[in-house]
Amino acid sequence: MLGRIIENGSTVLLYSLKGKSWLIKVDSKNEFHTHFGAVKFSEIVGKRYGDIVKTNSGQELILLEPLLVDYLMKSERRTQIVYPKDIGLIILETGIGPGSIVVEAGTGSGVLTTAVANFVRPSGKVYSYEIRPEFIEIAKRNLKRVGLEDYVIIKNKDASHGFDEKEVDVVLIDVGAPWTLVKPAFDALKGGGALAAILPTINQAEKLAVELKKNGFVNVNTVELLCRPIEAREGMSRPSTRMIAHTAYLMFARKSFLKVNTSYNENSCDGSEKV
């Protein structure tokens, strides 16, 4: 038997060859309307992931099992979200993995929170701080939809007053004034623990780098990831005409007990000496 069977209540990514997709929950009594026509959920139940369903206007849609990234990109959001390219590097550079204890300042819509929760499973935990109650509700809904709510504790607290957690593996910072969180981050982290910050402007990066180095952080490393879409087409390949040119700068650092830090920050990507 090939592919898992879709049941009533399953979540499905309806994917059109025209590049549109919809993340839906199968409710066999209803139907789903797209501008390519309507699909009866009763026709989906019993099919395998990977199978095709036709709309009432004859358009083919493919039934895909949603991946984490589909949930992230289809999140309910009122803030700028963190994009997959940036999430991926944050996970790698901070060492987040099964069992990690992670503290986050700035839950926002919970997109990064959700991604991190996925990777700390089954034994880790994410403690996420957010001062705006309305975002907490959004983040909780996003976490619940993907089924990761058990791995996250969201706190309606101002992280600049300090994190409750100590000896944590990783601190993530996604707030407008990240430099106010350097001392709280230091106090929360274990020795050698990793910090990552998401910084839309260079001014934020500059102020944070200064503050990190004043407070014992080493290996302060700032990068920017550009994701360039490529049209790989037979005999006529080329980069796409347009791209998202900037999401955020990413800054990484490690906690040390160093008293005076005279290092430059390091600005290293793959390929050069990398701690």
Site for a copy of itself in 80-99 (CB under 8 A): 83-95, 97-98
Distance between CA atoms of residues 167 and 127, nearest Å: 13
**Which is closer to a copy of itself, CB of 38 or CB of 227?**
227
Q: Does 271 bind a copy of itself (CB under 8 A)?
A: yes
Within 171-190, the residues that bind a copy of itself by CB under 8 A are 190
Closest CA to 205 of 271, 275, 267: 267
Query: What is the per-residue binding string for a copy of itself in 2-41, x denoting contact by CB under 8 A?
Result: xxx--------x-x-xxxxx--------------------
Distance between CA atoms of residues 1 and 257, nearest Å: 57
Q: Does 226 bind a copy of itself (CB under 8 A)?
A: yes
Q: Of 43, 56, 67, 150, which lies in the binding site for a copy of itself, with binding defined by CB under 8 A?
A: 67
Range in contact with a copy of itself (rule: CB under 8 A) among 34-42, 127-135, 136-144, 247-255? 247-255
Say how many CA atoms lie within 13 Å of 33 toward its Cβ.
Answer: 0
Contacts of 274 (CB under 8 A, 6+ apart): 268
Q: Is residue 84 within 8 Å of 71, Cβ to Cβ?
A: no
Q: Would you state the structure tokens that stand for residue 215, as one six-digit string? A: 């407070």
Shortest Å distance, C-beta 114 to a copy of itself: 12
**Which is closer to a copy of itself, CB of 159 or CB of 209?**
209
Q: Which helix (H) or strand (E) holds 212?
A: helix 202-214
**Which is closer to a copy of itself, CB of 32 or CB of 83?**
83
Say how many CA atoms lie within 13 Å of 158 toward its Cβ.
Answer: 5
Residue 217 — left, alpha, or beta (φ > 0 → left; ψ -120 to 50 → alpha)? Answer: beta
Q: Does 46 bind a copy of itself (CB under 8 A)?
A: no
Q: Does 118 bind a copy of itself (CB under 8 A)?
A: yes
Shortest Å distance, C-beta 214 to a copy of itself: 11
**Which is closer to a copy of itself, CB of 155 or CB of 255?**
255
**Which is closer to a copy of itself, CB of 131 or CB of 225?**
225
Distance between CA atoms of residues 238 and 236, nearest Å: 7
Q: Does 191 bind a copy of itself (CB under 8 A)?
A: yes
Q: Does 125 bind a copy of itself (CB under 8 A)?
A: no
Q: Would you state the structure tokens that stand for residue 108, as one six-digit string? A: 């926002």
